[in-house]
Structure formats: C-alpha cells, structure tokens
Amino acid sequence: MNITAAQVNELRQMTGAGMMDCKKALVECNGDKQAAIDYLRKKGQKIALKRADREATEGCVISKATEDHKFAAVIMLNCETDFVGANADFVGTTKQLLDFAVENRIKDMEALNAATINGMTPEAIVTDLTAKTGEKVQVGKYFAIEAEYVTNYNHQGNRLATIVGFNKAFNGIEEIAHEVALQIAAMDPVAIDENDVPQATKDNEYNVAIEKTKQEQIQKAIDVALKKAGINPAHVDTDDHINSNMAKGWITEEDAAKAREIKEQVAAEKAGNLNMTMLENIAKGRLAKFFKENCLLDQVSLIADPKTVREYIQAGDKEATVTAFNRVKLG
C-alpha cells in the first residue's frame, strides 16, 4: 500500500513518534491510523520492558498551585538523559500530568496512577513517551499539599521545585510564602521543626554526636601525650603518615614505635575514663545545632537574617506557621 507523506505527518503530529517509525506503523497496518497508533503504543511497551532495568535519574521537575492557593503539587518525571529531560515534548508531558493532578486535586501517587487523563492512564502516557524517546520513562515522585494557603516555586532548568502550605492566609502572605518556598529550595530542610523530626532520626543524630565527642576527647588525650613525648601528632595521625614520614626522615623508627604504643595505651585509658555527663551535654548541644540547621522554622531566614524563618513568618502574623512542605530535586 502506498503511504503518503501527509499520512505520515498526521500520525507524527498525533503521536510525536519519529517519521520512519510512523511510516513503518502505517505500512504494517495498511494505512489504518488507529491501528498504527496502537502499533506504536505496543512498540513503546516493548521498549519499556527492555529498558526496565536502566537507571532513570534525569528528567523534569515542576510544581504548581491552584489559583485559590488552597492546593499545590510537585511532580518528577524521570528519563535516562538530560537531553531527553529538556526536550519540549518531555517537559510538555510533565506539565500535562501536573496540570491534570492540580486541576483535580490529586492527593498522592496512588491516586494519580489510578486516574484517567483524556482516556489514558499515566502509565499509558509514560509508555507512549518511552516509544518517542527510546528511553526509560517513569513518574519518579509526586507530592501534594492542601492547606489554608499554599504556594510553589520552580527553579530555572526544571530540576528543582518546592511546595509549601500554611495554616492561614494573611495580609502579605504572598511575599512571605514565596520567600519560604525559596528557603526550602536553597537550604533543603528535613522537617518543619523539632517535633516534626522522626524519633529514629533524633536518636541516630544523638548517638552520632556521642560517638564523635568520644573520639574527639580520646584524640585530645593522645595529642597531649604525644607532644609530651616530643612527637608531632600530625606526623603520626595514621599508619600511612607514619610510614611516609619515616621514609622522608621526619621521624625515626623508634619514634614511630613509641607513637603507636602511646596511641594504643592512651586510647584505652581515656575510653574507660570519659566524663559521660560532659559527653551528653556536648551531644545535646550538637543535636540542637542539627535542629537549627535542618528544621525549616529554626533555620536562619535567607531574606531576614538574623531572624529565623519562624520569626520572619510571624512578623506577618503571630499565629501563622508552616503546616507542610515538599522539595523535589533531580539527582
């Protein structure tokens, strides 16, 4: 059957597939347009299966809020290369999925996957995109927030986006909310405040602080003992340094042996004689620093330094606070 250029172009406009793929599909389907579309879709499924084990860490990240600022969502559509991720069709599909999700106030990934968009599931849309690009494509992340006031921020390049919700709207909320969304993008907080940090994370950070403080106290004692013995601690801090510095003639074999003995003996003595009350107080201080650096409301505001984000928000309304946020970034 003779397939015309007009038929090929029409199918290409409808599917976004390559010219040769469209022509082959029409030839295989005897010019039947709908059958050719199904043919291309099945081809996409085959490609998707072949590339299922590939890593898809590039892509496009976009966020959006409703006009009434009551709902916002952020989506990550992944592919294999940044070239495909920046492609207009790929970005357009990401926006198509997000527009539908925001318009219908889809609350989570499960609900999004169960939706039907113009007669197609997100899985079918992604499979079609796989056929067009030849790469593994998947919806990597989707988050949504519903609150009394929400806003969003999209960083240039479609690689980073944030959404944030507040417990109330007030005069000046637009500017404040925007700055908080920027803060989330720049400072990557892990929680809203200390109460929002999972107990397992708190316990882990505290234990890490205890262990780090123990090692610091032991090292201080070792350094003091080495200096008393006339040995520079920097020359014997590791076995590699000891061997290297002996080869350079900076320390003798006798000094090296003495340093190793001192390090072993002092470490054992100090480990059994640590002041636990002091260790716990230092660890608590380090945990407080962790909260200040990683909890959104306790971070120093980038726009209102030295005020915290909490103080910056409450300068607009004393009862206002953040109820939820999400930050999504490629890589």
Query: How many independent structural domains does the chain possess?
Result: 3
Verify that 74 and 177 share a domain, yes or no.
Answer: yes
pLDDT attached to residue 162: 98
Separation between Cα atoms, residue 169 and residue 166, nearest integer Å: 7
Looking up residue 36, the CATH number of its domain turns out to be 1.10.8.10
Separation between Cα atoms, residue 291 and residue 192, nearest integer Å: 10
pLDDT attached to residue 19: 63
Verify that 80 and 173 share a domain, yes or no.
Answer: yes
Verify that 239 and 149 share a domain, yes or no.
Answer: no
Verify that 106 and 231 share a domain, yes or no.
Answer: no
Verify that 251 and 278 share a domain, yes or no.
Answer: yes
Verify that 143 and 73 share a domain, yes or no.
Answer: yes
Per the rule left: phi > 0, alpha: psi between -120 and 50, beta: everything else, 123 is: alpha
Per residue of the chain (331 residues), what is the pLDDT tens digit? 677 877 767 766 666 566 667 777 777 777 777 777 666 666 654 444 445 567 789 999 999 999 999 999 999 999 999 999 999 999 999 999 999 999 999 999 999 999 999 888 998 898 888 888 888 899 999 999 999 999 999 999 999 999 999 999 999 999 999 999 999 999 999 999 999 999 999 999 999 999 999 999 999 999 999 999 999 999 999 989 889 988 998 889 998 899 999 999 999 999 888 999 999 999 999 999 999 999 999 999 999 999 999 999 999 999 999 999 999 999 8
Verify that 171 and 204 share a domain, yes or no.
Answer: no
Domain that holds residue 286: 199-291
pLDDT attached to residue 198: 92
Output the CA torsion sign for 236, 239, 240, 243: positive
Q: From the CA atom positions of the chain, what is the Rg in Å?
A: 29
Verify that 190 and 207 share a domain, yes or no.
Answer: no
Verify that 45 and 62 share a domain, yes or no.
Answer: no
Looking up residue 182, the CATH number of its domain turns out to be 3.30.479.20
Phi, psi at 170, each rounded to 5°:
-155, 170
Verify that 178 and 218 share a domain, yes or no.
Answer: no
Separation between Cα atoms, residue 101 and residue 63, nearest integer Å: 11
Tokens found for residue 312: 């910056």
Verify that 124 and 101 share a domain, yes or no.
Answer: yes
